Amino acid sequence: MPDRDPTHIGKVRHVLGSTVTIALDNDLAGTAPIFKGHLHPIGQIGSLVRIPQGIVDLIASVDLVGIAELTGPVKPSESIQRDERWLQVQLLGEIDLGTGRFQRGVGSYPGLDDPVHFATAEQLRAVFPSPNTKNLQLGRLAAAEEIPICVDASLFVVRHAAIVGSTGSGKTSAVASLLQGFVNGGWNAANIIVIDPHGEYSQALSGHASIRSVLAKDNHQLRIPYWALPAIEILRAFAGSTGGATISNRFSELVAEGRRKFVESANWLDLAPTSVTADTPVPFDIREVWHQLDMENNETRTIKGDPTTACITSDGDPKSLQPTTFEPYGPGGQSPHKSPDYGAYGTTPELLRLGLLDPQLQFFLEPEGKPKGTDPLVDVVQEWLGGTEPVSVLDFSGVPAIASDLAIGVVLNLIFEVSLRCDYGGPGIGRPNPVLIVLEEAHRYLGESANAITRDSANRIAREGRKYGIGLLLVTQRPAELPDTALAQCGTLVSLRLSNSEDQGTIRAALPDTISGLAAVLPSLRTGEGVISGESIILPARILFDLPNPKPKADDPSLDPWRQQPEIPNIKPAIKAWRGTYEATDD
């Protein structure tokens, strides 16, 4: 008799569509045979087996493992005998033994008692492509760590992707490793913008990325001009709310007037003033708008209907945000009288002034835009794109969420609008030069609770971005809070460990039915381990992500200082940084 093939593990006992049940050989010791010095854990969910079919080998993924009960009717199929070990696998594709190439789908199905083998490293290399100029390595196959796992970089970028995982699952490290793969893999002219709300990625990409922060100074400051926002959103950003209809309508009127005034004097704008609205993204002086609102809200007059009789006690200064003061109104209808709009705007003008003075919101005030010169938006968008660096990190940490969320909406909207209008084959961005936007905390910007401009901009990129060369990488620990339409647009889905049942259900629904076994392991994945599926990878796989070097600033704080000599904490630098006295550092 010929020697037994050492890769043989069992026989086909049941076939139902793409689901195949395999009875393991009785003399197979354990479920992790050793071959050429390597363990082959066929009993692991996600492991791959092969079923020879003439000139092709069928490749299948293990999604269920068991042993038939000695008593009772529960079996994977009637063909499995009592006390027999079995695997349930899903057929995924086939290797052509003539060419050595793998393709998805199967042309023929196995028959009963067909032999089944575990897939060797050489055979797995025929399935999973190696890193090259088109493929980006993410990590290694969990069941065979000598096999690199790569994605088609083009499909990963332009057809959108999502990386999800609970806090502590290794999600941020996985994203950092992916970005370092682009930086170190020869993608020198990449256009990757990282929206970083917590300041986690600067450390991992230092020296290889343009890093701008809303709290930084000079050349490292992230500038997002307030005048690029619609009028109502400007009021919301600086005052914290839009107030009532009276103040919001008057604010919009004054903003429209300010924008038209600027257009009339600007030599770099070719716009008719009559076409300018309160939402047209051209500069205006918000301090002048505040000053006018504040005057109307506090003005007293000798003659109520005559604005020329205003009872001013000291003139204000819009530039320094000094309010104009008036004589108090007289009691019992005596002079001075209240102006018609006295008190109509409530506390909103004062809240607006305080917002303009807030050091945490100073990034919104640059650049102001000058009538003579060049378009400031050109310089700003080029800064966001990172110049000649392949990755641009936009750090929004340290500012109120309402302001950072609005600012992120401005970035997303402008990048989309610019990409939409860049001609194919030209030197711009979009179709001539694709952009990948990494959106951390994506549920904050796409969910129902997000502000309108940010939600609309993010959803617009998710729906239409691929047509114009804008890819979106959604990163979140709460996939259940993402709208179904956004997740459905993602051509590649990577899930690390998920502990929340609602999040698990969302991802299971998004994964193909053929990898239900892999979906079942989501709550038990190791840190840094994930399940990847989609257009950019040849087969769904359970992978271990490569560790980033250097690591992002996402580790849990250490308790080692608790065992050291007690001392009074030095919080003075933190207080100064909070007030905006100087740039915060890691020292």
Helix (H) or strand (E) holding 62: strand 56-67
- In 3D space, the residue among 478, 513, 230 whose CA is nearest the CA of residue 486 turns out to be 478
pTM above threshold 0.75: yes
Q: Which domain holds residue 36?
A: 8-127
Lowest mean pLDDT among 24-38, 109-123, 172-186: 24-38
Residue 448 burial (10 A CB sphere; 0-12, 13-18, 19+): exposed
Co-location of 548 and 458 in the same domain? yes
| 516, pLDDT greater than 80 | no
Amino acid at site 430: G
- Structure confidence at residue 254 as a pLDDT band (50, 70, 90): very high
Q: Are residues 436 and 492 in the same domain?
A: yes
Arithmetic mean of pLDDT, 4-18: 90
Domain annotation covers residue 140: no
Same-domain check for residues 274 and 338: yes
**One domain for residues 162 and 263:** no
- Sorted by sequence, the CB contacts under 8 Å of residue 162 that are 6+ apart come out as 442, 473, 474, 475, 476, 479, 482, 487, 490, 492, 493, 494
Q: Identify the domain boundary among 304, 337, 359.
A: 359
Average pLDDT of the chain to the nearest whole number: 89
Q: Write phi, then psi, for 275 (nearest 5 degrees).
A: -90, -5
The residue with tokens 């952009």 is 435
In a domain, 570, yes or no: no
For residue range 389-399, list pLDDT tens digits in order.
999 999 999 88
The pLDDT tens digits for 428-460 are 888 889 999 999 999 999 988 888 888 999 999
End-of-domain residue from the set 309, 337, 359 = 359
Which residue carries 């905006």 as its tokens?
580
Residue 137: inside a domain: no
> Is 507 inside any structural domain?
yes
Q: Please check whether residues 401 and 499 belong to one and the same domain.
A: yes
Q: Quick check: is 439 in a domain?
A: yes
Indicate whether 384 and 527 sit together in one domain. yes
Tell me: do 315 and 289 sit in the same domain.
yes
Whether residue 567 is contained in a domain is answered as no
d(CA 273, CA 259): 8
State whether 423 and 549 are in the same domain: yes
Q: C-alpha distances in angstroms, 240 versus 72, 355, 470, 563? A: 66, 8, 31, 42
Q: Which residue bears the tokens 């800064």? A: 383
- What tens digit of pLDDT does each residue of 286-302 get? 999 999 999 999 999 99
* Residue 559 forms part of a structural domain: no
Cβ–Cβ contacts within 10 Å for residue 351, how many?
Answer: 17
Q: What is the 3-state secondary structure (H, E, C) of 474-542?
A: EEECCHHHCCHHHHHCCCEEEECCCCCHHHHHHHHHHCCHHHHHHHHCHHHCCCCEEEEEECCCCCCEE
What domain count does the chain have?
Answer: 3
Domain match, 403 and 541 both: yes
What pLDDT shows up at residue 69? 56
In a domain, 562, yes or no: no
Rounded alpha-carbon distances, angstroms, from residue 377 to 159, 224, 281, 453, 553: 28, 9, 9, 18, 31
When mean pLDDT is compared across 25-34, 254-263, 485-494, the lowest value belongs to 25-34
**11 touches 5 (CB < 8 A):** no
For residue 405, give the CATH number of its domain.
3.40.50.300
263 and 387 belong to one structural domain: no
User: Which of 119, 361, 127, 331 is closest to 236 using CA atoms?
Assistant: 361
Q: Do the strands 161-164 and 492-495 form a parallel or antiparallel pair, or are they unpaired?
A: parallel
My answer on whether 173 and 188 are in the same domain is: yes
Q: Which long-range contacts (CB under 8 A, 24 or more apart) does 303-306 make?
A: 303/337, 304/337, 304/338, 304/339, 304/340, 305/340
| Residue 427 reports pLDDT greater than 90 | no
Are residue 193 and residue 211 in the same domain, yes or no? yes
* Coil vs helix vs strand at 543: strand
Per-residue pLDDT reduced to its tens digit, 359-376: 888 888 988 888 888 889
- The pLDDT value given to residue 511: 87
From 311, 332, 359, give the residue that closes a domain. 359
The two structure tokens encoding residue 210: 């343009």
Query: Nearest 5°: phi and psi at 322?
Result: -90, 125
Q: Which residues contact 483 (CB under 8 A, 6 or more apart)?
A: 446, 447, 448, 459
